[in-house]
């Protein structure tokens, strides 16, 4: 089975069922290590928001493949506490962080017109989704720390999913909340400083409030995802 999967990957014809079957029996750390049997480091993209749930995946990568760079999408709207947390984890786990910034003119327009108020999806598209597109084009597989218990969208994801031209890899997807908390404590990982103030999930300052789970993200808008993971890009005038 492994040989067949390797052949399909080389041809960029993903046999998702075979991949998911192969990785299903592995622990989340074994999945991360096993990924590099199929892909070279330069083909692997890792992004992190350095939010409340980010540290466990980062720990796993630092243990299983410590030379893997971590891309941080700097929307310019992050909490100061998030930037400090990023630096803390980078030092503690020995991470190589690469900042990814939006187009400066478009970012300035979102600021001048406060797009997060009337056009939150467009704001995310400009400041999160668009800056990542060139990076995705340079990689073959994208590691993400999504977990099924977090949202209805994430509950339907498998370990491997095709998203456009890139393969998404979710090594933590089937961890329960209890398992996540157990491993987080076991490896003595620091919590995001805003978590103690009631923030269950943390993104940009304008669109994040205290709340359980992701209840504080885009509160009152019906929006639960920024667009990176569902894979849509909202063009201007389509908001």
Calculate ∠ Cα 79-189-136, nearest 5°. Answer: 60
Kindly state the helix (H) or strand (E) to which residue 18 belongs, with its residue range.
Answer: helix 16-24
Calpha distance 59→5 (Å, rounded): 27
Q: Catalytic one among 124, 204, 207, 226?
A: 226
Q: How many residues does the chain have?
A: 239
226 noted as active-site residue: yes
Distance CA 44, CA 25 (A): 22
Q: Tell how strand 97-100 and strand 70-73 pair up.
A: parallel
Pairing verdict, β 166-169 and 160-163: antiparallel
**Closest listed residue to residue 184, CA positions, set 172, 196, 194:** 172
**Dihedral pair phi/psi, residue 190, rounded to 5°:** -75, 145
- 148 and 173 Cβ atoms separated by less than 8 Å: yes
Q: Distance of CA 184 to CAs 54, 94, 118, Å? A: 10, 17, 37
> What are the angstrom distances between the C-alpha of 6 and each of 38, 40, 63, 143, 161?
6, 12, 24, 18, 17
Catalytic residues: 226
């Amino acid at each position: 089975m492994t040989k067949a999967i390797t052949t399909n990957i080389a041809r960029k014809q993903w046999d998702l069922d075979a991949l998911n079957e192969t990785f299903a029996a592995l622990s989340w750390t074994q999945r991360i290590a096993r990924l590099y049997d199929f892909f070279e480091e330069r083909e692997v993209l890792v992004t992190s928001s350095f939010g409340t749930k980010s540290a466990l995946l980062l720990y796993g990568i630092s243990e299983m493949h410590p030379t893997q760079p971590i891309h941080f999408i700097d929307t310019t709207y992050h909490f100061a506490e998030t930037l400090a947390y990023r630096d803390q984890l980078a030092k503690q786990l020995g991470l190589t962080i690469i900042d990814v910034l939006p187009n400066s003119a478009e970012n300035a327009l979102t600021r001048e017109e406060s797009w997060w108020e009337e056009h939150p999806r467009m704001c995310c598209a400009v400041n999160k989704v668009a800056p990542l597109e060139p990076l995705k084009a340079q990689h073959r597989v994208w590691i993400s720390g999504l977990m099924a218990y977090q949202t209805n969208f994430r509950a339907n994801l498998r370990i491997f999913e095709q998203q456009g031209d890139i393969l998404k890899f979710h090594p933590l997807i089937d961890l329960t909340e209890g398992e996540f908390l157990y491993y987080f404590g076991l490896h003595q990982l620091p919590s995001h400083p805003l978590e103690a103030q009631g923030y269950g999930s943390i993104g940009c300052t304008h669109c994040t409030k205290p709340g359980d789970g992701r209840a504080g993200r885009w509160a009152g808008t019906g929006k639960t995802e920024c667009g990176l993971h569902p894979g849509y890009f909202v063009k201007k005038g389509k908001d």
